[in-house]
Amino acid sequence: MKLISYNIHVGMDEFRRFTLFQLIKYLKEQDADIICLQEVLYYQFNLMKLLLKMDGIFGLHVNNKKVKFGICILSKIKIIESNHFLLTSKKEQRGMLSINSTDLLIINTHLGLDSDERKLQISEILDFAKGKCDNIIICGDFNEKNINLFSYNDIAKYLSKDMKPTFNKHRIDYIFMSKNIKPKYYEVDEVFYSDHFPIIVEI
């Protein structure tokens, strides 16, 4: 299975140039089974579902007259069961989105900008995942360096690829997996369609 986690910065690069269609083309070429995205506008989610021909779910975090904004998961296989809940947030609302099958739970998240806020949000995610499944993947933009989820492997460290930055010379985007999952591949792809780089894993 091939999975991508990617903060797409609402389809703009670091200079705020519109890159959505280049980004969609890139994702299509990657041909991943699961795509977990952060900083997605609702219309972009619907467009990607259509153009990538994938099933998907959207987690709405900001909803006002100007914008519908959040995270999403796209899947080649039809999504049967999913969950979305809002995490405790001080400023901009953050949340967690999950899909699960009989033998795998995938969680996508985008954490807040405050350190204490992030600790609580991580605790809420781990509480949700506890006892759900033997095989769990937790991925997303954690907005912090040197994150450890001690009951999970950080795939970058597991495969000795943890020196590669994902955002502005820092590694703040992660893919964690249950320790019984043995990943085959991890890469941070230096493409410039967002202010973050995508993470690609294969298990």
pLDDT of 93: 95
Beta bridge partners of 109: 96, 140
pLDDT, mean of residues 84-91: 94
CB atoms within 10 A of CB 115: 9
pLDDT band at 131 (very low <50, low <70, confident <90, very high): confident
* 3-class DSSP state of 68: strand
What's the whole-model pTM score?
A: 0.97
Beta bridge partners of 196: 167
Q: Tell me which CATH code domain 2-202 carries.
A: 3.60.10.10
* 3-class DSSP state of 117: helix
Q: Is residue 48 within a helix (H) or strand (E), and if so which, with residue range?
A: helix 42-52
Asked whether the predicted pLDDT for residue 102 surpasses 80, the reply is no
Kindly state the percentage of the chain with pLDDT values over 90.
Answer: 93
pLDDT band at 167 (very low <50, low <70, confident <90, very high): very high
The per-residue b/e assignment along 73-108, b for 16 or more CB within 10 angstroms, e otherwise, is bbbeeebeebebeebebeeebbbbbbbbeeebbbbb
Asked whether the predicted pLDDT for residue 171 surpasses 80, the reply is yes
| Strand pairing report for 34-41 and 2-7 | parallel
Beta strands in the chain (DSSP E): 2-7, 34-41, 55-63, 68-75, 81-87, 94-100, 105-110, 136-141, 152-154, 173-178, 185-188, 199-202
Asked whether the predicted pLDDT for residue 101 surpasses 90, the reply is no
